[in-house]
Amino acid sequence: MSFCVLLLIVIIISMVYFVASKGVANFVNGEVKVSEFLFGTKWSPEADTPSYGAFPFISGSFLVTLLAALIASPLSICAALFMTEIVPGWGKKLLQPVIELLSGIPSVVYGFVGLSVIVPFLRDTLPGQGIGVAAGALVLSVMILPTITSVAADALASLPQNLKESSFALGATRWQTISRVILPTTFPAIMTGVVLGMARAFGEALAVQMVIGNAPFVPHSLFESASTLTSVITLGMGNTTMGSPQNNALWSMALVLMLMTFVFVLLVRMLERRNKI
């Protein structure tokens, strides 16, 4: 048992070390400046004077993640309320398997459905070519629905029964109870779900890569082709050779992704602590 734990710690530390050491290689040997990497908007690694500005990708990742959370959170919270407060019987029986099913679908399927359904729909109804930030955010929002819903539903179900009963005893209606008692009390737990969903959206690669367009520019509209950190890494990693500045720049992006994951974990921790009080 303790051996497993030890092994796990060693593996985690070595993975973090590996990504970090490759990620800072470009900065250490003076190939790229940190500020240039983080805030540079020009990405042309194959040019004669290459530039490695990753800002378009960093901003793209944050943009699709925030948009996806904005779309998915209200839907998920409503679904969770429906399952636990409104019709706990058949509502839960119906929704639970559907949500479990959603979380089990591989991301390539989401990507392909996005490419075959969402992209043509956006192309026909809105300006642009359908491919772009909006398509990416829509695909992601469906993908993170199950995460937020199941966490929110767990939080709502674990709420002490007497809290609700006291509210009803005071003469509050169901809607008043939900909006004044249940939601405020479970807010930190629901936010945990939202943050976990965002962590998933931030790290998702394949599905987004298929529908976002991957042009290395900061998008000026939701219907414009853009890139995320993950999409650039997956597109470039196999085609570049280890140790080249371009490959190292991709590792730097992986490092940014990893640090962001730490931030998300930290956020969840903080929310959990608030939840206990």
Exposed, middle or buried: residue 154 (CB in 10 Å: 0-12, 13-18, 19+)? middle
| Token couple for 242 | 């280890």
Exposure string of 97-118, with b = 16+ CB inside 10 Å and e = fewer, is: eebeebeeeebeebbebbbeeb
Shortest approach of another protein to residue 46 CB, angstroms? 5
79 SS3 class:
helix
Backbone angles phi, psi at 255, to 5 degrees: -65, -45
Shortest approach of another protein to residue 121 CB, angstroms? 12
109 SS3 class:
helix
Query: What number of chain residues touch another protein (CB under 8 A)?
Result: 46
Place of tokens 């080249």: 244
Shortest approach of another protein to residue 243 CB, angstroms? 8
Residue 131 lies near another protein (rule: CB under 8 A): yes
**142 neighbors 110 (Cβ within 8 angstroms):** yes
Shortest approach of another protein to residue 224 CB, angstroms? 6
| Token couple for 202 | 């931030």
**Entry field: residues in the chain:** 277
Residue 214 lies near another protein (rule: CB under 8 A): yes
Of 23 and 130, which CB lies nearer to another protein in the complex structure?
130
**210 neighbors 47 (Cβ within 8 angstroms):** no
Using the contact rule CB under 8 A, the part of the chain among 32-40, 57-65, 161-169, 241-249 near another protein is 241-249
| Token couple for 193 | 């779900």
Residue 247 lies near another protein (rule: CB under 8 A): yes
Place of tokens 């240039």: 36
| Token couple for 277 | 């009080």
Among 60, 130, 136, 197, binds another protein (CB under 8 A): 130
Shortest approach of another protein to residue 181 CB, angstroms? 24
| Token couple for 95 | 């929704």
Among 225, 230, 248, 252, binds another protein (CB under 8 A): 225
Residue 115 lies near another protein (rule: CB under 8 A): yes
Residue 1 lies near another protein (rule: CB under 8 A): no
Residue 199 lies near another protein (rule: CB under 8 A): no
Among 89, 160, 171, 243, binds another protein (CB under 8 A): 243
Of 5 and 169, which CB lies nearer to another protein in the complex structure?
5
Q: Interface with another protein by CB under 8 A: which residues?
A: 4, 7-8, 11-12, 15, 43-48, 115, 119-120, 123, 129-131, 154, 192, 196, 209-210, 213-217, 224-225, 232, 234-244, 246-247, 268
